[in-house]
Amino acid sequence: MARLIQKGDILDWTNGDTSTVAAGTVVVAGTFVGVAQNDIPAGELGAIAITDVWEIPVNTGVTFTQGAPVYWNKGAGYAVAEGGSGTFYAGRAAYAAGEGSTTVKVRLEPGGDAGYANATG
C-alpha cells in the first residue's frame, strides 16, 4: 500500500559545500535543479523548491522561445539553451527571453526531461 510522505514541490537537501547557500540560490540535487528556500549553512539540511516558475540568471547572448528547454550550468551559475558536460535539465522557459536578457523565467520540471539526458558534472 502506498503512503504519502510529503508533497513533492519542496525537498530536503543537504548542503555539501563548504559555505552557506543563500536563499534564492539555484542548486543541483542529484538530477533535480532546485532553488534554496532559506539560507542553508554548509553541512546542514534545508529546503529546495523543485517546481513552479523561477527567474534565474542566463548566460549573455542566450535566447529562449517560450517552451524551450532550459539547462543549468552548475559550474558557471547560469542557464544555457543546450545540455552538455556540467549542465542539468532545469525545465522549460515559461516566457520568451530575447537577446540582451539577463534572466529567464523557467518552469522547473523535476527529474529531467526524457528527451534530454542530464549530464554528469
Distance between CA atoms of residues 50 and 111, nearest Å: 9
Residues 65 and 83 in one domain: yes
- Indicate the number of domains in the chain: 2
Give me the pLDDT at residue 112, please.
64
* pTM of the predicted protein model: 0.88
Q: Quick check: 14 and 3 in contact, CB under 8 A?
A: no
pLDDT band for 110, please (50, 70, 90 cuts). confident
The share of the chain scoring above pLDDT 70, in percent, equals: 92
Q: Strand 32-36: give its sheet, edge to edge.
A: 10-14, 45-49, 32-36, 26-29
Residue 89, pLDDT above cutoff 50: yes
User: Nearest 5 degrees, angle CA 6-CA 11-CA 12?
Assistant: 110
Tell me the residue range of the domain where 31 lies.
Answer: 10-49
Which residues share a beta bridge with 85? none
- Does residue 26 lie within any of the structural domains? yes
pLDDT digits (tens, 9 = 90+) for 18-48: 999 999 999 999 889 999 999 999 999 999 9
Q: How far is CA 19 from CA 15, 16, 44, 77, 108, in A?
A: 8, 9, 10, 16, 25
44 and 61 assigned to the same domain: no
